[in-house]
Structure 1
């Protein structure tokens, strides 16, 4: 990965940046985000901040230059959950239809303890040989133990120790009687997930993936909409004060992923990080 991000990724970014910015009308809007906002002492807060800073180094977080262009959903522009729905409707007439259809099919979105669903995450990661970013090496190389330690007793989900600096696994579930993760019986199956990271005002889809067999049901859009609504509603301390969701770069992925990001409300942004 060091070779990819140090050599190949900069070449890809330079080749794609101008043409893809043109699709959004040229120079993007700008915002300033504080990575230390609301930080309190607590387990994992320093790690969350360090990781966000490290990932951001590969992106243009001050002005458009050689780095990748971050794609952001501006939560302040949405205002509230109704504003988010209006935005999604305006971006695609099918957005809300897909989200409601997925709900009627029985899919549910919630945070989860990774230890309960290690095998499900592995199945999702290895369900496709090729994704929008290219060949998936995990299809052949990844093992469940590389992801985490699968528990044999159901573990409760616990809120993060720090309200503003955390990592929370969110997932989409469907009832599946008799389903198992290793030796643990989990009567619902995880079919899509994201490793959601936060540092101050910025929330990041650090990992976002769905199982091939369930993508057509709209599970990714359903999960995205639920997470954005959770942040906008701000009913719980870990959701309060977030200003933007970041998902990868304008220059990364194929046309399919770029279209999905546009329909989900993401746009290229000039970002200045403080803190």
Structure 2
């Protein structure tokens, strides 16, 4: 219930106050592109699916417009990467380089220092997630309440033995956590020796055509090493390649709104390849 009052009252004020000048900062002086999406993807959905498709999810309510061809000045403007624009990983790298010549060198330096990226189970790295979330009281998106309030047991029940990551049963509706790891022999998570330290993570939620970064965060001691760009690039490469069912057919990678956070967050999104769009879906109008 805490989400809806913010969505109804605060987000419209943010859109009114910030949209015009932030679009100008990104070089937009006219209408932004409009993209039609299908969040249900009934033909591709497989059981057991975690989504009740008779109910419009909050993700769709928040970011997807109800009508095509009509701007809504009170609705947040999504920041996305249109995956269809990039036929392969090299094309995306070229886009990153065009946005900033410093991005790819930072990523390559992180790779040389031994950082690796892969999906993981939350239960296997609870204490590292807690360390990351409580490593800074303020971030580019604003104050971090977890810095003062979060307890490890609120994240998940820590694993008591090693578990292998498993891909979701439904390829178009899922939540997957991806992380950046640094090898560290003998390193433990509670009772379990894991031999690596989680230093950054992103929680991803797929809803049909949309893959959404619902949370992305790195430990303060590793942020200057380029770990967030390394993580982001690896995920985009995975989506573009589409080798696994969970990545196939994804249309847009969404990371919040144009109006979210401070100027530093907007700059990061721009350098990472995100751009503003209007997402529209007939299903929202039918259910609204």
Q: TM-score range by the shorter chain?
A: over 0.9
Where does structure 1 lack aligned partners over 5 or more consecutive residues? none
Give distance in 2, aligned partners of 1:122 and 1:64: 40
Contact 1:39–1:165 at 8 Å: present in 2 too? no
Q: Which residue of 1 aligns with 2:12?
A: 10
Distance in 2 (alpha carbons) for counterparts of 1:269 and 1:125: 30
1:19 maps to which residue? 21
CA contact (8 A) 2:11 2:75 kept: no
Tell me the alpha carbon deviations over residues 149-174 of structure 1, each in whole angstroms, 9 at most, x when there is no partner: 10110111011001111111110000
- The corresponding residue for 1:234 is 242
Of the three residues 35, 38, 60, the one matched with 1:34 is 38
Number of the residue aligned with 2:286? none
Structure 2 Cα separation of the partners of residues 6 and 146 of structure 1: 27
> Does the Cα contact within 8 Å between 2:171 and 2:245 map onto a contact in 1?
yes
**Contact 1:13–1:252 under 8 Å retained in 2:** no
1:194 pairs with 2:198: no
Structure 1 stretches of 4+ with a deviation exceeding 4 A read 49-52
Report the TM-score, using the length of structure 1 for normalisation. 0.94
Q: Normalising by structure 2, what TM-score?
A: 0.90
Between stretches 178-187 and 206-215, larger displacement belongs to: 178-187
Runs of at least 5 residues in structure 2 that lack an aligned partner in the other structure: 284-288
- Matched residue, 1:207: 215
Distance 1:168 1:274, change over 3 A: farther
How many Å apart are 1:211 and its aligned residue? 0.8
- Find the counterpart in structure 2 of residue 136 from structure 1: 144
1:88 matches 2:96: yes
- Size of the aligned set, in residue pairs, is 274
Q: CA RMSD in A?
A: 1.8
